[in-house]
Amino acid sequence: MPQLKEDPAQGTATAPVPDFELSRLAPSRPAHPLWQRLADHPLDDPRDARPLSARLSQNTGWRAVHTQRVLTEYRRFLYLAVRLQGRVCPSEAVDEAWHAHLLDSRRYFGVFCPRVLGYRLHHVPSRGGAEEGARHASRYRATLLAYQHVFGEAPPADIWPAPEARFKERTRHLQQPHALGCTQAHRVAERVPHQRGARVGHRAQPAGAAGA
């Protein structure tokens, strides 16, 4: 589990030590091929009368402009998730986008994962318990740290709330009878070749380190 470390310049212990090396990630907007593929890939298929953004807006009640902002943050999350081999945790809003994307499992696993991500990125539900909850909270803090390191700016607070607010919101959702399940999840990246029709396997284990 990541621990807090003291920032010599600030004299405070606020930043978690992530269970990955930030030095492996280039700072500022990445020019990495993965980012280029994510930026170029349309999440809305023009052939669909009800594309992903429309389904996401309908499911959440978000306005179209906010939905597009969330999808931008979803792309950024996917970049971090693959580069950091699943050791990340999304915000509630980003997780909503991921759920909506996963529902079209044939395209997600058969096209998007092999052609864009180069990985099968699975969404595995939390197993529950205080220890697992603490681990997710720690990973969320580390995700915010990695986000700022890579993209050169703090994540937007209305989409990526502070950890205390994010997990308070999680508790509130769990008390609602029609809340989505699996909104707190492990992210596990499994290396697959860039080929068409990659099959969905069983739950993956963490793969070897991705190239920088």
Q: What is the pLDDT of residues 122-167, one digit of tens each?
A: 987 777 788 878 888 899 999 999 999 999 999 999 999 999 888 7
Query: Under DSSP, is residue 188 helix (H, G, I), strand (E, B) or coil?
Result: strand
As to burial, measured by CB atoms within 10 angstroms (0-12 exposed, 13-18 middle, 19+ buried), residue 130 is exposed
Kindly report the average pLDDT of the chain as a whole number: 75
Question: Can you give the pLDDT at residue 88?
Answer: 92
Phi and psi torsions of 50, nearest 5°: -130, 80
Which range of 88-92, 170-174, 192-196 scores highest in mean pLDDT? It is: 88-92
Question: How much of the chain exceeds pLDDT 90, in percent?
Answer: 50
Question: Can you give the pLDDT at residue 132?
Answer: 78
As to burial, measured by CB atoms within 10 angstroms (0-12 exposed, 13-18 middle, 19+ buried), residue 104 is middle
Give the separation between CA 140 and CA 167, rounded to whole angstroms.
10
Question: Can you give the pLDDT at residue 91?
Answer: 95
Question: Can you give the pLDDT at residue 169?
Answer: 57
Binned at pLDDT 50, 70 and 90, residue 170 comes out as low
Which whole number is the average pLDDT over 88-92? Answer: 93
pLDDT in tens, 39-56: 999 999 999 999 999 999
CB-CB contact of 158 with 81 (8 Å) = no
Which whole number is the average pLDDT over 71-95? Answer: 94
pLDDT at 200 over 90: no
